[in-house]
A and B are shown apart, each in its own frame.
Chain A
Amino acid sequence: AQTVTQSQPEMSVQEAETVTLSCTYDTSENNYYLFWYKQPPSRQMILVIRQEAYKQQNATENRFSVNFQKAAKSFSLKISDSQLGDTAMYFCAFMSPNFGNEKLTFGTGTRLTIIP
């Protein structure tokens, strides 16, 4: 069974600074997908970024980028030029592409606070 570990329960950073959230996972599969989701106080889970394991290039979405290290099973999220609206819980998640097993396995989350 896959597991996802987020070792930073809480983080805070000044507005406009850069912050990196850590995530490690365990799997025996070679092909899979990794995600970062954001859950603001409104509680809706919002997709931030997605990475396919077969792609060597790290995914980027505007101010958000990942550092995907497949051999180390590490998948960190970097937020550049942080904004107040980035305040939220951030969840790292793993998904197998195998039919019948396409569930998301989530970590326990990191609570990120952006300080004005």
Chain B
Amino acid sequence: ETGVTQSPTHLIKTRGQQVTLRCSSQSGHNTVSWYQQALGQGPQFIFQYYREEENGRGNFPPRFSGLQFPNYSSELNVNALELDDSALYLCASSLGDDREDTQYFGPGTRLTVL
């Protein structure tokens, strides 16, 4: 157990809808990163939040947005869902103030878009 939690565990949405995924970071960690893992592939970096500011973004469209709260928990929002958004969404937290940080992952949210 890493201490990183995610909710919900599973989610089913229809194309065009909007979804919010949540992540609570490990105690003491101020950085949260989000990844999308399609079936049979390695995770792809979406973006990272450090002390409530976006600190890097991968090759994802603007309909993927995020937020980090003062307690360092985070949300991932996806608007106008597409079928290809079906994936496992992983969040990872890290200490953040040390550039050598290791990222510790939560159990993931499985999103299915119909």
Q: Do A and B come from one complex?
A: yes
Tell me the A residues contacting B by CB distance below 8 Å.
Answer: 4, 33, 35, 37, 42-47, 50, 52, 91, 93, 95, 97-109
- Whether B99 contacts A97 by the Cβ 8 Å rule is yes
Between-chain CB contacts (< 8 Å), 13 pairs: A35-B102, A44-B106, A44-B108, A45-B90, A46-B2, A47-B102, A52-B100, A93-B42, A102-B48, A102-B56, A103-B48, A106-B43, A109-B41
- Whether B55 contacts A50 by the Cβ 8 Å rule is no
Tell me the B residues contacting A by CB distance below 8 Å.
Answer: 2, 31, 33, 35, 41-45, 48, 55-56, 58, 88, 90, 92, 94, 99-108, 110
Q: Name the A residues within 8 Å of B56 (CB-CB).
A: 100-103
B36 → A minimal CB distance (Å): 11
Answer whether A104 and B100 are a contact pair too, CB < 8 Å, given A44-B106, A44-B108: no
Q: Name the B residues within 8 Å of A93 (CB-CB).
A: 42
A91 → B minimal CB distance (Å): 5
B55's nearest neighbour on chain A, judged by CB, is A100
Answer whether A102 and B55 are a contact pair too, CB < 8 Å, given A43-B88, A47-B104, A97-B100: yes
B82 → A minimal CB distance (Å): 22
A102 to B58, CA, bound (A): 11
A45 to B91, CA, bound (A): 10
Q: Name the B residues within 8 Å of A37 (CB-CB).
A: 105
A57 → B minimal CB distance (Å): 16
- Whether A45 contacts B43 by the Cβ 8 Å rule is yes
Q: Name the B residues within 8 Å of A107 (CB-CB).
A: 42
- Whether A105 contacts B105 by the Cβ 8 Å rule is no
Q: Name the A residues within 8 Å of B2 (CB-CB).
A: 44, 46
